[in-house]
Structure 1
Amino acid sequence: MPLSFSKGMPGDWKASQKGGAGYLLVQIDGKPYWTDAIGQIPYAVDTFRFYHSIEKTVETAKSWADGTPQSEYDNTNTYDNFFVLRGALYASKRFSYTITQSERSYPAVNVSEQTYPVDCNTLSQPISQDQLALYGFWDK
Protein backbone atom coordinates (compact mmCIF):
# COMPACT_ATOMS: atom_id res chain seq x y z
CA MET A 1 0.00 0.00 0.00
CA PRO A 2 1.28 3.52 -0.74
CA LEU A 3 2.09 4.45 2.85
CA SER A 4 3.76 7.76 1.97
CA PHE A 5 0.30 9.38 2.07
CA SER A 6 -0.44 8.11 5.60
CA LYS A 7 -0.78 10.55 8.46
CA GLY A 8 2.54 12.24 9.21
CA MET A 9 4.37 10.71 6.22
CA PRO A 10 5.95 12.74 3.37
CA GLY A 11 2.82 12.57 1.17
CA ASP A 12 0.59 13.95 3.95
CA TRP A 13 0.31 17.63 3.00
CA LYS A 14 -1.27 18.40 6.36
CA ALA A 15 1.97 17.35 8.09
CA SER A 16 4.04 19.68 5.91
CA GLN A 17 5.15 23.07 7.22
CA LYS A 18 3.50 24.67 4.17
CA GLY A 19 0.66 22.17 3.81
CA GLY A 20 -2.34 23.86 2.23
CA ALA A 21 -0.61 27.19 2.99
CA GLY A 22 -3.30 27.90 5.59
CA TYR A 23 -6.06 28.02 3.01
CA LEU A 24 -9.19 25.93 2.96
CA LEU A 25 -9.68 26.60 -0.76
CA VAL A 26 -7.38 26.57 -3.75
CA GLN A 27 -8.14 27.73 -7.26
CA ILE A 28 -7.54 25.70 -10.37
CA ASP A 29 -8.37 27.46 -13.63
CA GLY A 30 -10.26 30.04 -11.58
CA LYS A 31 -12.54 27.46 -9.91
CA PRO A 32 -12.41 27.00 -6.11
CA TYR A 33 -11.76 23.54 -4.65
CA TRP A 34 -11.19 22.32 -1.10
CA THR A 35 -7.44 21.91 -0.61
CA ASP A 36 -7.94 18.54 1.07
CA ALA A 37 -9.95 17.24 -1.88
CA ILE A 38 -7.25 18.23 -4.37
CA GLY A 39 -4.78 16.31 -2.22
CA GLN A 40 -6.76 13.16 -2.95
CA ILE A 41 -5.64 13.19 -6.60
CA PRO A 42 -1.94 12.30 -6.10
CA TYR A 43 -3.00 9.78 -3.45
CA ALA A 44 -5.41 8.16 -5.93
CA VAL A 45 -2.86 8.07 -8.76
CA ASP A 46 -0.24 6.48 -6.51
CA THR A 47 -2.73 3.98 -5.09
CA PHE A 48 -3.96 3.06 -8.60
CA ARG A 49 -0.35 2.40 -9.64
CA PHE A 50 0.00 0.06 -6.68
CA TYR A 51 -3.25 -1.88 -7.19
CA HIS A 52 -3.89 -1.33 -10.95
CA SER A 53 -7.59 -1.01 -10.13
CA ILE A 54 -10.07 1.86 -9.90
CA GLU A 55 -12.30 -0.16 -7.56
CA LYS A 56 -9.45 -1.06 -5.19
CA THR A 57 -8.22 2.55 -5.20
CA VAL A 58 -11.64 3.87 -4.11
CA GLU A 59 -12.03 1.07 -1.56
CA THR A 60 -8.59 1.78 -0.06
CA ALA A 61 -9.38 5.48 0.24
CA LYS A 62 -12.60 4.68 2.08
CA SER A 63 -10.73 2.33 4.44
CA TRP A 64 -7.96 4.86 5.17
CA ALA A 65 -10.24 7.93 5.21
CA ASP A 66 -8.30 9.83 7.88
CA GLY A 67 -4.88 8.49 6.81
CA THR A 68 -4.56 5.89 9.58
CA PRO A 69 -5.20 2.13 9.69
CA GLN A 70 -7.63 2.76 12.58
CA SER A 71 -9.71 5.10 10.42
CA GLU A 72 -13.47 4.87 10.43
CA TYR A 73 -14.62 3.47 7.11
CA ASP A 74 -15.95 6.33 4.95
CA ASN A 75 -18.74 5.00 2.79
CA THR A 76 -20.35 8.39 2.35
CA ASN A 77 -21.04 10.35 -0.78
CA THR A 78 -18.28 12.87 0.04
CA TYR A 79 -16.19 15.36 -1.86
CA ASP A 80 -13.03 13.37 -1.06
CA ASN A 81 -14.44 10.16 -2.55
CA PHE A 82 -15.27 11.98 -5.77
CA PHE A 83 -11.72 13.34 -6.02
CA VAL A 84 -10.25 9.90 -5.35
CA LEU A 85 -12.43 8.60 -8.16
CA ARG A 86 -11.30 11.45 -10.45
CA GLY A 87 -7.66 10.62 -9.73
CA ALA A 88 -8.21 6.90 -10.25
CA LEU A 89 -10.01 7.48 -13.57
CA TYR A 90 -7.14 9.71 -14.72
CA ALA A 91 -4.57 7.09 -13.65
CA SER A 92 -6.48 4.35 -15.49
CA LYS A 93 -6.02 6.30 -18.73
CA ARG A 94 -2.40 7.21 -17.96
CA PHE A 95 -1.12 3.74 -16.98
CA SER A 96 -1.66 0.18 -18.08
CA TYR A 97 0.05 -3.00 -17.01
CA THR A 98 1.32 -6.12 -18.71
CA ILE A 99 1.92 -9.23 -16.63
CA THR A 100 4.18 -11.92 -18.04
CA GLN A 101 5.34 -15.21 -16.61
CA SER A 102 8.87 -15.08 -15.23
CA GLU A 103 11.42 -17.74 -16.03
CA ARG A 104 12.40 -17.74 -12.36
CA SER A 105 10.52 -18.96 -9.32
CA TYR A 106 10.72 -15.51 -7.71
CA PRO A 107 9.24 -13.30 -8.81
CA ALA A 108 6.87 -15.65 -10.57
CA VAL A 109 5.63 -12.85 -12.84
CA ASN A 110 6.99 -9.61 -14.23
CA VAL A 111 4.79 -6.53 -14.23
CA SER A 112 5.53 -3.82 -16.79
CA GLU A 113 3.93 -0.39 -16.58
CA GLN A 114 3.12 1.47 -19.78
CA THR A 115 2.60 5.22 -19.60
CA TYR A 116 0.37 7.17 -21.97
CA PRO A 117 -0.03 10.90 -22.48
CA VAL A 118 -3.29 12.13 -20.95
CA ASP A 119 -4.41 15.73 -20.93
CA CYS A 120 -4.33 16.85 -17.30
CA ASN A 121 -7.49 18.87 -17.98
CA THR A 122 -9.40 15.59 -17.79
CA LEU A 123 -9.05 15.98 -14.02
CA SER A 124 -11.30 19.03 -14.18
CA GLN A 125 -14.12 17.08 -15.82
CA PRO A 126 -16.98 16.07 -13.53
CA ILE A 127 -17.67 12.41 -12.84
CA SER A 128 -20.20 11.21 -15.41
CA GLN A 129 -23.35 9.33 -14.44
CA ASP A 130 -21.94 6.22 -16.15
CA GLN A 131 -18.68 6.46 -14.18
CA LEU A 132 -20.59 7.04 -10.96
CA ALA A 133 -22.76 4.00 -11.66
CA LEU A 134 -19.65 1.86 -12.29
CA TYR A 135 -17.35 3.05 -9.51
CA GLY A 136 -19.30 5.20 -7.05
CA PHE A 137 -20.07 2.37 -4.68
CA TRP A 138 -20.72 4.46 -1.62
CA ASP A 139 -23.90 5.52 0.15
CA LYS A 140 -25.89 7.88 -2.03
Structure 2
Amino acid sequence: MQRLEHLDKHLVDELARAARETVRDELREQARGQRRRAALYAGSGAAALYAGAAVSLAVGLALDLVLPGWAAALITAVALGVLAYVLRGAARPTASGAVPAQATAPGGRSVPVPPAPSAPPTVGVPPRPESDPDTPHHRA
Protein backbone atom coordinates (compact mmCIF):
# COMPACT_ATOMS: atom_id res chain seq x y z
CA MET A 1 0.00 0.00 0.00
CA GLN A 2 2.85 2.39 0.81
CA ARG A 3 4.41 1.60 -2.56
CA LEU A 4 1.18 2.71 -4.30
CA GLU A 5 1.12 5.95 -2.31
CA HIS A 6 4.75 6.56 -3.27
CA LEU A 7 3.88 5.96 -6.96
CA ASP A 8 0.87 8.30 -6.70
CA LYS A 9 3.01 11.03 -5.15
CA HIS A 10 5.67 10.50 -7.80
CA LEU A 11 3.04 10.72 -10.56
CA VAL A 12 1.55 13.90 -9.10
CA ASP A 13 5.02 15.46 -8.85
CA GLU A 14 5.76 14.55 -12.48
CA LEU A 15 2.45 16.00 -13.66
CA ALA A 16 3.01 19.22 -11.71
CA ARG A 17 6.54 19.58 -13.15
CA ALA A 18 5.25 18.99 -16.69
CA ALA A 19 2.46 21.54 -16.21
CA ARG A 20 4.92 24.13 -14.83
CA GLU A 21 7.27 23.62 -17.77
CA THR A 22 4.42 23.90 -20.26
CA VAL A 23 3.12 27.11 -18.70
CA ARG A 24 6.66 28.55 -18.48
CA ASP A 25 7.31 27.77 -22.16
CA GLU A 26 3.99 29.32 -23.19
CA LEU A 27 4.65 32.50 -21.18
CA ARG A 28 8.17 32.73 -22.62
CA GLU A 29 6.76 32.47 -26.16
CA GLN A 30 4.15 35.16 -25.48
CA ALA A 31 6.74 37.46 -23.93
CA ARG A 32 9.00 37.00 -26.97
CA GLY A 33 6.16 38.09 -29.27
CA GLN A 34 5.34 41.09 -27.09
CA ARG A 35 8.98 42.17 -26.96
CA ARG A 36 9.18 42.01 -30.75
CA ARG A 37 5.99 44.05 -31.10
CA ALA A 38 7.23 46.63 -28.57
CA ALA A 39 10.53 46.95 -30.45
CA LEU A 40 8.65 47.50 -33.73
CA TYR A 41 6.48 50.20 -32.09
CA ALA A 42 9.59 51.88 -30.67
CA GLY A 43 11.26 51.84 -34.08
CA SER A 44 8.12 53.25 -35.66
CA GLY A 45 7.99 56.05 -33.10
CA ALA A 46 11.67 56.92 -33.61
CA ALA A 47 11.20 57.00 -37.40
CA ALA A 48 8.13 59.25 -37.00
CA LEU A 49 10.10 61.57 -34.73
CA TYR A 50 12.89 61.92 -37.29
CA ALA A 51 10.35 62.38 -40.09
CA GLY A 52 8.71 65.19 -38.11
CA ALA A 53 12.10 66.81 -37.53
CA ALA A 54 12.86 66.62 -41.26
CA VAL A 55 9.51 68.21 -42.14
CA SER A 56 10.14 70.98 -39.59
CA LEU A 57 13.58 71.59 -41.06
CA ALA A 58 12.14 71.70 -44.59
CA VAL A 59 9.48 74.21 -43.54
CA GLY A 60 12.09 76.35 -41.81
CA LEU A 61 14.41 76.28 -44.83
CA ALA A 62 11.53 77.12 -47.19
CA LEU A 63 10.59 80.10 -45.04
CA ASP A 64 14.26 81.09 -44.88
CA LEU A 65 14.14 81.78 -48.62
CA VAL A 66 11.75 84.70 -48.14
CA LEU A 67 12.39 85.71 -44.50
CA PRO A 68 15.41 86.14 -42.27
CA GLY A 69 16.61 82.92 -40.61
CA TRP A 70 15.43 83.89 -37.12
CA ALA A 71 11.91 84.68 -38.38
CA ALA A 72 11.69 81.37 -40.26
CA ALA A 73 12.77 79.48 -37.14
CA LEU A 74 10.30 81.43 -34.98
CA ILE A 75 7.38 80.78 -37.34
CA THR A 76 8.25 77.07 -37.49
CA ALA A 77 8.46 76.88 -33.68
CA VAL A 78 5.11 78.66 -33.28
CA ALA A 79 3.48 76.31 -35.81
CA LEU A 80 4.80 73.28 -33.93
CA GLY A 81 3.62 74.77 -30.63
CA VAL A 82 0.12 75.29 -32.02
CA LEU A 83 0.10 71.71 -33.35
CA ALA A 84 1.16 70.39 -29.92
CA TYR A 85 -1.59 72.44 -28.23
CA VAL A 86 -4.25 71.17 -30.64
CA LEU A 87 -3.15 67.56 -30.21
CA ARG A 88 -3.16 67.92 -26.41
CA GLY A 89 -6.66 69.37 -26.56
CA ALA A 90 -7.81 66.47 -28.73
CA ALA A 91 -6.46 64.03 -26.17
CA ARG A 92 -8.37 65.62 -23.27
CA PRO A 93 -11.95 64.53 -22.54
CA THR A 94 -14.70 66.98 -23.42
CA ALA A 95 -18.07 67.63 -21.81
CA SER A 96 -20.02 66.08 -24.71
CA GLY A 97 -17.93 62.92 -24.99
CA ALA A 98 -16.69 62.87 -21.44
CA VAL A 99 -14.58 60.00 -20.34
CA PRO A 100 -15.43 58.93 -16.77
CA ALA A 101 -13.18 60.37 -14.10
CA GLN A 102 -10.66 58.16 -12.36
CA ALA A 103 -10.74 57.48 -8.65
CA THR A 104 -7.97 55.99 -6.59
CA ALA A 105 -8.68 52.68 -4.92
CA PRO A 106 -6.84 51.42 -1.85
CA GLY A 107 -3.40 50.37 -2.94
CA GLY A 108 -3.00 53.31 -5.35
CA ARG A 109 -4.83 51.73 -8.30
CA SER A 110 -7.08 53.93 -10.39
CA VAL A 111 -10.59 52.68 -11.04
CA PRO A 112 -13.20 54.18 -13.36
CA VAL A 113 -16.04 56.09 -11.75
CA PRO A 114 -19.41 55.81 -13.50
CA PRO A 115 -21.00 59.09 -14.55
CA ALA A 116 -23.66 60.57 -12.27
CA PRO A 117 -27.22 60.31 -13.65
CA SER A 118 -28.88 63.55 -14.69
CA ALA A 119 -32.22 62.58 -13.09
CA PRO A 120 -33.23 60.19 -10.30
CA PRO A 121 -34.20 56.71 -11.45
CA THR A 122 -37.91 56.08 -12.02
CA VAL A 123 -37.85 52.34 -12.58
CA GLY A 124 -40.10 50.50 -10.16
CA VAL A 125 -41.72 53.69 -8.82
CA PRO A 126 -45.45 53.75 -9.57
CA PRO A 127 -46.76 57.00 -11.04
CA ARG A 128 -48.67 59.25 -8.64
CA PRO A 129 -52.31 59.52 -9.57
CA GLU A 130 -53.83 62.96 -9.96
CA SER A 131 -56.61 62.17 -7.48
CA ASP A 132 -56.60 59.25 -5.11
CA PRO A 133 -60.13 58.08 -4.17
CA ASP A 134 -58.95 56.93 -0.73
CA THR A 135 -57.67 60.33 0.37
CA PRO A 136 -60.11 62.88 1.76
CA HIS A 137 -60.77 65.98 -0.27
CA HIS A 138 -60.22 69.19 1.60
CA ARG A 139 -61.64 72.42 0.41
CA ALA A 140 -59.99 75.63 1.26
TM-score (norm 2): 0.24
- Structure with the higher strand share, 1 or 2: 1
Structure scoring higher RCO (CA < 8 A, sep ≥ 6) equals 1
TM-score (norm 1): 0.24
Structure of greater Rg: 2
- Structure with the higher helix share, 1 or 2: 2
